[in-house]
A and B are shown apart, each in its own frame.
Chain A
């Protein structure tokens, strides 16, 4: 059974810092990996999708990397801003019999203070 773990569970930083969120997964037979953002009381918004054949993806101040063989991904946020405060979720799309199934980590709660 696929398990996804995110470290740290919570992170509080001053504005302007660069930061790294970590994600690990137990079954490397994934299809793709995706990072989401969730604001309190809201649904999820997709940030980045990394296909299993890719090593990284970038969008603005966000960069996500994937090391499929070691079961790890990191989300790098450059020059953090208070508006980045949210819960960040890592999720893996299953392969094989888990086709179409997205397994989520518990999330990292990020607070960026002015």
Chain B
């Protein structure tokens, strides 16, 4: 596609359920990033992939959070046993090569998660 695509755009779930958020990066982009934006908290780094590997998983808030990327393309962020504090907008971004060098970072519009 022309841009970074995220799905679902909105997800309402009950506390304790598992959710999967999907990110489809721009074709050919090797780097993929996940961020979380909570009300009043700003943007929080979650995880970064270069190809299929994640050199930095330090931002995942707990072991309920996991992410994978297969085929160097689509990534899935999974939250198990969701809690109310997981409610946020989850943003994905991709870049061709190293985003920290080019600054050419493209963001999707996010997946808004609401945990009741």
Contact = CB atoms under 8 A, between A and B. Distances in A.
Given A41-B109, A43-B109, A102 B100 contact: yes
Interface stretch (B11-19, B43-51, B70-78): B43-51
Interface residues on B, range: 20 to 34
Contacts of A49: 102-103
Interface in A82-98: 89, 91, 93-94, 98
Given A93-B100, A99-B55, A104 B105 contact: no
B101 A103 contact: no
Given A100-B48, A102-B45, A43 B91 contact: yes
Interface in B62-97: 91, 93
A85 B54 CA distance: 36
A78 to B, nearest CB: 21
Contact of B108 (A43, A94, A105): A43
B103 A43 contact: no
A107 B42 contact: yes
B110 to A, nearest CB: 6
A34 interface: yes
Given A104-B42, A107-B42, A46 B103 contact: yes
A98 B56 CA distance: 8
Contact of A42 (B33, B35, B43, B109): B109
Interface of A: 31-32, 34, 41-46, 48-49, 89, 91, 93-94, 98-107
Interface of B: 4, 31, 33, 35, 42-45, 48, 50, 55-56, 58-59, 91, 93, 98-105, 107-110
